[in-house]
């Protein structure tokens, strides 16, 4: 009788959710399967402020939770329907799902985009597994706990203890009310939850490496299981045209090389993507697993102080993007909102972004791939003690997981594991951690830049980055000068110099941050808004200051690019190019002209081209 009632409840729930499922798109566009169920929508919910939930056995099937929440939005957000911005050390979720009868005989995976911070799962009251890491995606094999054609009840416990914050990355989440450049927290589930059916010998993942110089892709597969006679078929498509195909023995040591004739390269100006189909075939010739993916053929490298994209000089015109939303906090309200942020940024003259103190969801990277937008992926390392053994181990694990998850995205050109890590004691412990991070990143992904510490306390890095919020353009230009030996006079804000600058690309990774609050200027009153330096007294003064700052950077031939702070206002921080609701704050034509100001090298190349 109990199972029948659960089935009826699940059926009613599924009918209502199909029409109103938030974030209904497939969450993993680089590795897409057809048999899946989106578990976003209404769940039971309960705050467990006294950590009594386990003692009260809230994981059992007959235990009901006191409230409701809309997943995947964190309970701090308006879109969750909860809107509680107080500290929530522990929370519980519960919902039923009808397992399709067609999934019989298959491996059934329960997937989470991200849960901050500790996650534990039960199904029908039976413990499944746990995961630590607030920004990394993870999956549980729930095949032993569910039956095809029947109802399963999923219970999720998430713990984000404030007392443990120094042991875990939290990024720009505030330890109290929002203030300065710290904002509303995120607790529990904050990305899509979904289930999918997979062949027991299907693909676990596939690493796709573009090789521009040899005009080929290299595919490295990994399988859930292996069986004699099983093969992997990989096809590379340009629309409906098959460009390349290869069949290999299905093995975790197999390597698939796909040569590409008349290759089309990926770049911000021409973001061409090849479709990739990966089919696992049994010994008797039957397709047992099919995954759809895509790939962009592009190369990023550096020679001396210059960056190159596809072997051509490439100047970084990037913007700081913190990925916060007024109604969703860390979770975009819609897939269209993710796309729109990139559209707005490109309309402002930027060719990319530094994704700041947050690991962005895969759908953002998908739109960056599609629209042609380069990014530096970053850890949310602030909040954690970066000389503490537990905290550093956690950060290493999350960084490795996220690089492996996002490796195939051509739009990502570098990784930034740490931000502004100066003044840490003991210094030797931090230096070792910095070196370990750099070595790990270069081992997992030698194809991209490792920006080991953005803005200071550098001990080992592929690119030298500095932060400066000097507001006067003339002073900024002088600050960024190089001496007669080609050595920068400004090495960052760190009070000590760990290693000597050795000729890496020199990147102004944060600058600007000009505060502009039109209502404050109009009413001539101070508000709680926050930004860098004294705010301009008029729009004309704002444009002049911004133009002067950008000109100070692009006129310096020793600098490989810039990152302006920032794309949008965030809560009380009001130094964005756009308002927090993404509406225009300025004349975007003027803004675009300023950020697209050519370097001397670009101007010379343009002149030479026009003479031809």
d(CA 203, CA 221): 7
- pLDDT surpassing 80 at residue 201: yes
Helices in 445-535 by DSSP H: which ranges? 473-479, 518-523
Q: Region 282-310: what's the mean pLDDT?
A: 97
Q: How far apart are CA 312 and CA 306, in angstroms?
A: 10
Position 519 scores a pLDDT of: 75
CA quadruple 386, 389, 395, 396: dihedral, nearest 10: 120
Only one residue has tokens 């970084």, namely 316
The Cα angle at residue 415 between residues 410 and 417, in degrees rounded to 5: 155
pLDDT at 510 over 80: yes
- CB-based burial label for 364 (10 Å; 0-12, 13-18, 19+): buried
- What spatial distance separates the first Cα and last Cα of the chain, rounded to whole Å? 82
200 pLDDT more than 90: yes
Query: What's the whole-number mean pLDDT along residues 403-424?
Result: 94
Residue 590 confidence (pLDDT) above 60 = yes
Residue 469 predicted with pLDDT over 70: yes
Other beta carbons within 10 angstroms of residue 300's beta carbon come to 19
More confident residue, 385 or 607: 385
Q: How many residues does the chain have?
A: 612
Q: What span, in angstroms and rounded, lies between the C-alpha atoms of 5 and 153? A: 12
**Measured distance CA(326)–CA(579) in Å, rounded:** 10
Out of 3.40.50.920, 1.10.3720.10, 2.60.120.260, 2.40.50.140, which CATH number does the structure's domain 2-198 have?
A: 2.60.120.260
Residue with token string 């990147």: 507
Helical pair 389-406 and 362-371, crossing angle rounded to 10 deg: 40
Other Cβ atoms closer than 10 A to 407: 19
pLDDT at 11: 47
Backbone angles phi, psi at 341, to 5 degrees: -60, -40
Whether a cis peptide bond, with omega within 30° of 0, leads into 117 is yes
What does the mean pLDDT of the chain come to? 93
Instruction: Give the H or E element holding residue 544.
Output: helix 539-554
In DSSP notation, 57-114 reads TTTSTTPPPSEEEEETS-TTSTTTT----S--SEEEEEEEEE--GGGTTSEEEEEES-
* 392 pLDDT more than 60: yes
- pLDDT tens digits, 472-487: 999 999 999 999 988 9
Q: Which residues contact 443 (CB under 8 A, 6 or more apart)?
A: none
Cα angle at 70 between 10 and 409, to 5 degrees?
105
DSSP per-residue letters across 213-264: TTTEEEEEEEES---TT-EEEEEEEETTEEEEEEEEE--TT--EEEE-TT--
Whole-angstrom CA distances from 87 to 43, 175, 301, 319 are: 20, 9, 44, 31
pLDDT at 15 over 50: no
CA 148 from chain centre, in angstroms, equals 34
The pLDDT of residue 333: 98
- How do 216-223 and 118-123 pair as beta strands? unpaired
For the entire predicted model, the pTM comes to: 0.94
| Mean pLDDT in residue range 602-610 | 79
Q: How confident is the model at residue 423 (pLDDT cuts 50, 70, 90)?
A: confident
**How far is 171 from 355, CA to CA, in rounded Å?**
11
Percent of the chain whose pLDDT exceeds 90: 84
**342 within 8 A of 367, measured Cβ to Cβ:** yes
Taking residues 247-271, report their average pLDDT.
Answer: 97
Does the pLDDT of residue 528 top 90, yes or no? no
Going from N- to C-terminal start, the domains of the chain cover 2-198, 203-295, 300-611
Whether pLDDT at 492 is above 50: yes
State the pLDDT at residue 20: 82
Q: What is the pLDDT of residue 183?
A: 96
DSSP 446-471: TTSEE--EETS--SS-SSEEEE----
**Window from 399-403, 496-500, 559-563 with minimum mean pLDDT:** 496-500
- Unique residue bearing structure tokens 């099937």: 61
CA distance 419 to 457: 9
Supply the pLDDT for residue 495. Answer: 56
Instruction: Say how many C-beta atoms besides its own lie within 10 A of residue 179's C-beta.
Output: 14
| CA 226/CA 282 separation, integer angstroms | 10
Decide: 201 and 230 in contact? Cβ < 8 Å.
yes
Q: What is the pLDDT of residues 301-324, one digit of tens each?
A: 999 999 999 999 999 999 999 999
- Contact by Cβ (8 Å): 309, 352: no
The three-state secondary structure class of 607 is helix
Cα–Cα distances (Å) from 95 to 46, 124, 311, 521, in that order, read 12, 10, 51, 50
Q: What is the largest CA-CA distance in the chain?
A: 84
Domain 300-611: CATH architecture, name and number where available = Alpha-Beta Barrel (3.20)
User: If you average pLDDT over residues 91-99, what whole number do you get?
Assistant: 98
Please state the separation of Cα 375 from the chain's center in Å: 9
Min mean pLDDT across 216-220, 254-258, 345-349, 532-536 is at 532-536
Percent of the chain residues past pLDDT 70, beyond the cut: 94
CB of 530 within 8 A of CB of 542?
no
Tell me: pLDDT of 611 over 80.
Answer: no
8 has pLDDT over 80 = no
Q: Where does the pLDDT of residue 234 fall: very low under 50, low under 70, confident under 90, or very high at 90 and above?
A: very high
Q: Does position 520 have pLDDT exceeding 80, yes or no?
A: no
Residue of 412, 169, 439 lying closest to 298 (CA atoms): 412
The backbone torsions φ and ψ at residue 256, rounded to the nearest 5 degrees and listed phi first, read: -110, 120
Q: Does domain 203-295 have CATH number 3.40.50.150?
A: no
| Helix, coil or strand: residue 272 | coil
């Amino acid at each position: 009788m109990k199972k029948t009632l659960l089935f009826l409840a699940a059926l009613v729930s599924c009918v209502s959710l199909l029409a109103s499922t938030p974030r209904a798109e497939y969450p993993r566009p680089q590795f897409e399967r057809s048999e899946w169920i989106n578990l976003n929508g209404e769940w039971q919910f309960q705050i467990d402020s006294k950590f009594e939930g386990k003692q009260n056995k809230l994981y059992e099937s007959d235990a009901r939770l006191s409230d409701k929440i809309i997943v995947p939005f964190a309970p701090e957000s308006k879109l969750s329907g909860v809107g509680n911005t107080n500290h929530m050390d522990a929370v519980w979720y519960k919902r039923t799902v009808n397992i399709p009868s067609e999934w019989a005989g298959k491996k059934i995976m329960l997937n989470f985009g991200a849960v901050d911070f500790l996650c534990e799962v039960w199904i029908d009251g039976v413990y499944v597994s746990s995961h630590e890491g607030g920004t990394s995606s993870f999956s549980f094999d729930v095949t032993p706990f569910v039956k095809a054609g029947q109802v399963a009840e999923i219970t999720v416990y998430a713990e984000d203890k404030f007392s443990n914050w120094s042991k875990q990355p939290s990024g720009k989440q505030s330890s109290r009310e929002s203030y300065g450049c710290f904002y509303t927290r995120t607790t529990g589930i904050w990305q899509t939850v979904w289930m999918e059916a997979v062949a027991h010998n299907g693909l676990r993942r596939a690493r796709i490496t573009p090789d521009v110089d040899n005009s080929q892709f290299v595919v490295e597969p990994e399988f859930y299981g292996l069986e004699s006679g099983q093969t992997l078929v990989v096809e590379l498509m340009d629309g409906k045209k098959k460009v390349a195909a290869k069949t290999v023995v299905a093995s975790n040591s197999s390597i698939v090389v796909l040569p590409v004739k008349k290759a089309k390269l990926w770049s911000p100006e021409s973001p061409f993507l090849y479709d990739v189909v990966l089919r696992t075939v049994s010994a008797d010739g039957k397709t047992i697993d099919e995954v759809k993916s895509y790939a962009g053929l592009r190369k990023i490298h550096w020679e001396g102080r210059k960056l190159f994209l596809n072997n051509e000089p490439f100047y970084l015109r990037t913007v700081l993007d913190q990925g916060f939303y007024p109604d969703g906090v860390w979770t975009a309200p819609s897939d269209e909102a993710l796309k729109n942020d990139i559209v707005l940024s490109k309309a402002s003259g930027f060719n990319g972004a530094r994704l700041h103190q947050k690991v962005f969801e895969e759908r953002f990277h998908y739109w960056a791939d599609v629209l042609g937008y380069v990014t530096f992926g970053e850890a949310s390392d602030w909040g954690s003690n970066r000389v503490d053994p537990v905290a550093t181990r956690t950060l290493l694990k999350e960084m490795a997981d996220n690089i492996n998850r996002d490796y195939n995205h051509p739009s990502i050109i570098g990784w930034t594991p740490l931000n502004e890590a100066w003044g840490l004691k003991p210094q030797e412990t931090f230096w070792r951690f910095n070196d370990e991070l750099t070595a790990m990143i270069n081992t997992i992904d030698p194809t991209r830049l490792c920006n080991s510490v953005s803005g200071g306390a550098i001990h080992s890095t592929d690119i030298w980055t500095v932060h400066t919020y000097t507001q006067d353009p003339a002073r900024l230009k002088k600050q960024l000068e190089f001496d007669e030996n080609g050595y920068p006079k400004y090495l960052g804000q760190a009070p000590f110099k760990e290693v000597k600058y050795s000729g890496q690309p020199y990147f102004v990774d944060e600058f600007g941050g000009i505060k502009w609050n039109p209502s404050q200027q109009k009413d001539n009153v101070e508000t709680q808004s926050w930004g860098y330096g004294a705010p301009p007294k008029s729009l004309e003064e704002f444009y002049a200051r911004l133009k002067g700052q950008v000109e100070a950077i692009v006129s310096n031939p020793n600098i490989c690019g810039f990152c302006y702070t920032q794309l949008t206002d965030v809560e009380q921080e009001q130094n964005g190019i756009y308002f927090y609701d993404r509406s225009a704050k300025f004349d975007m034509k003027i803004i675009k002209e300023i950020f697209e100001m050519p370097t001397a090298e670009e101007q010379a190349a343009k002149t030479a081209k026009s003479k031809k």
